[in-house]
Amino acid sequence: MTSSLIQMRGVAMRFGGKTVLDGLDWEVRRGQVIGLLGRNGAGKSTLMECMLGLREVDAGAIALFGEPLGALSDANRARIGYVPQKSDLFEWMTPRQMLAYFKALYPRWNDERVATLLTRWGFDVLDLNKPIRRLSGGERQRLSIIRALAHDPALLVLDEPVSALDPAGRRAFLGELIDEVVERGTTIVFSTHILTDLERVALDVAFLKDGKIVLQGPLDDLLEGAHQAQGGVRTDSLSLEQLFLEATQ
Amino acid sequence: MSRSLAQYWLLWRAALGFTRAFSPRLLLLLAVFTTLVSTGIAAISASSAAWLSWALCTPAGFLLLAWSLGYLPGALKLNTPANAQLVPGLRRRLVELTLLVWLLGIGVLGAGMLVTTKAPGPGLWLAAFLTLGVAGMTSGIRIAWLIYLPLLAGVVLHQRLPRPLLLAVDGLLGSHLALALLAPLGALTTLAIFPQAGKRHWDMLAKQAGSSAFGARTVLDQEPGRFSWDGLLLRRALAQRRPGPLLMRALGRSLPAAAANGLAFAALGIGAVIYLAQRGLLPGMTSYFAQLSWVTISGVLLVFVFQAGMAPAWLARTTGEQALVRLAPAFPAGAAGFNELLARAQLRQSLTIWLMASSAALMLGLASGMEGSALWQQAGVCCMTLPTLALALRDHARSSVWPIFGMWAIAFALSYIGPMVGIAAYAAFGLPFWPVALITAFALTAVLVVKRLRLMRAAPIAFPAGRLN
């Protein structure tokens, strides 16, 4: 059994005439918490969707939990949690109905955790019984995260999960991520544009550019390496923002 | 082209562009085709003036249809509080354009009616109040339903009015009065539906998001009430954990529940009118209903035909939800298994709606005094719509979403194949109409459903729909 939880080999994907993924190779080990970075339109969401089998690839092979994506067992499918970029989903249901709906779709469901998160993230009885359409953007995003965490996933894929959250909401979410999910050994791939959040959570980062992972490694090592490459003379330390600009320009 | 006209044209196109499932080009083609055909038939078969009436009324009807269902929802979206307050002249131009197009449609319709009848009043009032009512309801004006009150009063009191007054309302004087009264009423409505920012504007937007079928992102997107059919069916699906009903829940509210609500309203409305007519409370309408009752009753089947035609559009609206559902282990991972589950669930849903619509039609038939062969023929009419069941089955991953009007046209065409073959067989060989029409409809349904099921089994996994288009 391989220690890689996600394996992507030579993955290519085109939209019309535009190449989005270009023979991409990528591996994510079990328990790794990796931040996926790239400029707008670099293909981060597409990469995540291909990784989960939500989009067909033009070439290449993808395996999750050591199983080819096309033959993923139900047991392993039940171990995946996904927070898409769009959080305005199932708007015709109430949060209570939506959570009950997904509970019916998964063999394992952590009711206690759901209740704790709902309370901690400020959902009262009134919120739980009004249509999701009437929740604010931040509330919908929190709900989306709770849904993805509720079945205790072993792989959590988060596509800009905190974009609609205020600083307090981001802090609460990151706290949850660090305290419970990371401690439990969950593998996490998440994309964000808020680099300070990434620095708080991710031990590793990967940069996507021109359809390929152009740089990947432990965040500290990358920052250190980029620093040394600036001439070897220790002046100011390189920030993640500077590294992002250099890696993706 | 003058600057004003250029701005009107720009706004018209921009507003129509907002409504995804609405194809202006298709509607224009349909309008031209229908106008030519109806005018041609009238010229050959009717009086010398009838062709002019059809040539005016048909395009006016299409214009009012495009105004109500295509332009207006888009124009309301253009008139955001920011645009209304900050873009110079945008709100004024929208108000002018909306009023001008509506007046043009109503005016041409009235002119067309005047060619062949001396009593265009009722038709004109009906068209005017219906379109204004749709405008008010679509925009989220809370008291918009009041616009329908004069119509209701007209239906109930029509034959009870003093004869001179009735003649005046129905006749030329009524038409002139209608145009004189309707222009300011239309202007008031138009000003009300395009507010200029402020609290009322935000309230209207909230109301639109909450209740309007045009504003909502998912069809039939209303609050899931605890005691509603929809809530009940959802709880049942969750308790039973049957994959088919659960899968359909990713596409929005339960369509059979919504159809049941719609049919209940339609049945109540039509039943009440038929009952009142039979009791002599609507004098003059009894004979009208006796002649047209089966046509009126068959209108209930539109609930089924319309939903069958809209199935692809509903799938296109919930691709985000479909992505999450596809990851869930409750459903088959393979394309063939997943698509088969979806196809069967779609068929079951459509059949349920067909059964409800057909039952409602037959019960209304019984209520209106139908018996014997008339009832069997009503059942036959219901069966003619069965081939539209196949419209829901397709390669969802690859197929593009056709405009709703196109899908409805196909649904109607499929429903007419049985009767057309029946007529042709009767005319050519003297074969009885109903057996031939029914056998054709059943055979067509079987062939289409089996063929489309095979197509779905061989297709890529259906969710998220349209991703390979």
CA–CA dist B193, B188 (Å, integer): 9
Q: What single string gives the DSSP state of each residue in B123-135?
A: HHHHHHHHHHHHH
**SS3 readout for A30-77:** CCCEEEEECCCCCCHHHHHHHHCCCCCCCEEEEEECCEEHHHCCHHHH
Can you tell me the distance from the alpha carbon of B248 to that of B172, in angstroms, rounded to the nearest whole number?
Answer: 53
* Cβ contact, residue pair A105, B253, below 8 Å: no
Contact B323 A90 (CB under 8 A): no
Q: What is the DSSP letter of A8?
A: E
Interface of A with B in 124-163 (CB under 8 A): 131, 133-134, 147
Distances (CA, A) of B174 to A2, A230, B117, B290: 84, 87, 13, 28
- B227 to chain A, closest Cα gap in Å: 13
Instruction: Record the tokens describing residue B127, joined without a space.
Output: 């068209």
Q: What is the mean pLDDT of residues B240-263?
A: 84
pLDDT for B461 beyond 80: yes
Residues 206-225 of B with CB under 8 A from A: 209-210, 216-218, 220-224
Most confident of A119-133, B150-164, B414-428, B437-451: B437-451
Which chain A residues are closer than 8 Å to B329 by Cβ?
A: 74-75, 77-78, 105-107
- Chain B residues in contact with A106 by the CB 8 A cut-off are 328-330
Q: Could you tell me which residues are beta bridge partners of residue A62?
A: A8
Tens of pLDDT, residue by residue over B97-140, are 999 999 999 889 888 888 777 666 677 778 888 888 888 887 87
> Residue A97 and residue B224: Cβ atoms within 8 Å?
yes
- Name the average pLDDT for chain B: 82
Residue B49, CB half-sphere, CA atoms under 13 Å: how many? 8
Residue B352 has pLDDT above 50, yes or no: yes
**Cβ neighbours of B331 in A, within 8 Å:** 105
Residue whose C-alpha is closest to residue B454's, from B376, B339, B322: B339
**C-alpha to C-alpha distance for A121 and A166, rounded to whole angstroms:** 12
3-state secondary structure B327-371: HCCCCCCCHHHHHHHHHHHHHHHHHHHHHHHHHHHHHHHHHCCCC
pLDDT at A213 over 90: yes
Residue B436: the pLDDT is: 95
Does residue B300 carry a pLDDT above 50? yes
Give the chain B residue nearest A105 (alpha carbons).
Answer: B330
- Work out how many CB contacts closer than 8 A connect A with B: 84
pLDDT of A229 above 70: no
pLDDT at B322: 94
Among A92, A94, A136, most B C-beta atoms within 10 A, so best to mutate, is: A92
Q: What is the ipTM of this complex?
A: 0.89
Give the per-residue pLDDT at A192.
85
Of residues B183 and A237, the one with the higher pLDDT is B183
Mutate to test the interface with A, among B222, B324, B396, B468 (most CBs of A within 10 A): B324
Nearest by CB to residue A106, choosing from B320, B328, B464, is: B328
Residue A199 pLDDT level (bands cut at 50, 70, 90)? confident
Peptide bond into B120 cis (omega under 30): no
Q: Search chain A and give the residue with CA nearest B251.
A: A90
> Rounded mean pLDDT of B199-211?
75
Tell me whether residues A77 and B467 touch, CB distance under 8 A: no
CB of B460 less than 8 A from some CB of A: yes
